[in-house]
Amino acid sequence: MDELDSALLRLLQQDGRRTNRDLAAELGIAPSTCLERVRSLRERGVLLGFHAEVDLTALGRGLQAIIAVRVRPPTRAVIEQFQAFVARMPEVLSVFVLTGTDDFLLHVAVRDTDHLHAVVLDKLTKRPELADVRTSVVYGHLRKNVIEPA
């Protein structure tokens, strides 16, 4: 990673739909150089892909929550099975596997509090490995759009 790679990453994170020509012009490099650098970033696994950011409220999922979950026994098989289960749930946006008191943090987006209640009671607590669950409603969510190299 050099300064040019970092600059390309910053610009692509700000707007992944920018054309190669626009990127090259902004950075003062040839379009062929820009294309080769972006291709290299993808091949090296630095750029994993491009996505569209959506408005959760516009999708009818305006209520977000963080659900802390503990499973028992905390074996590899139980952890992997539970992770696979929650990853398939349409309400789940992110799954974090943790050390410490909780085994998982689930970031969910749902219609309303009734929907959140149903997710916890009708989906999660039905799982035999679930030992504890705590739910916190998210008032606000800020996500960095540009991540700089360390």
Structural domains in the chain, sorted by start: 3-43 (1.10.10.10), 63-138 (3.30.70.920)
Element (H, E) at 64: strand 63-71
Q: Which amino acid is at 55?
A: D
Q: How far apart are the first and last CA of the chain?
A: 10
What is the pLDDT at residue 149? 87
Whether the pLDDT of residue 145 is over 90: the answer is no
For 148, which DSSP code? -
Residues 44-95 pLDDT 10s:
999 999 888 899 999 999 999 999 999 999 999 999 999 999 999 999 999 9
Q: pTM of the entire structure?
A: 0.86
What is the pLDDT at residue 100? 94
Neighbours of 91 (CB within 10 A): 20
The overall average pLDDT reported for the chain is 96
Element (H, E) at 136: strand 130-138
Q: What does the alpha-carbon distance between residue 137 and residue 36 come to, in Å, rounded to a whole number?
A: 44
Element (H, E) at 57: none
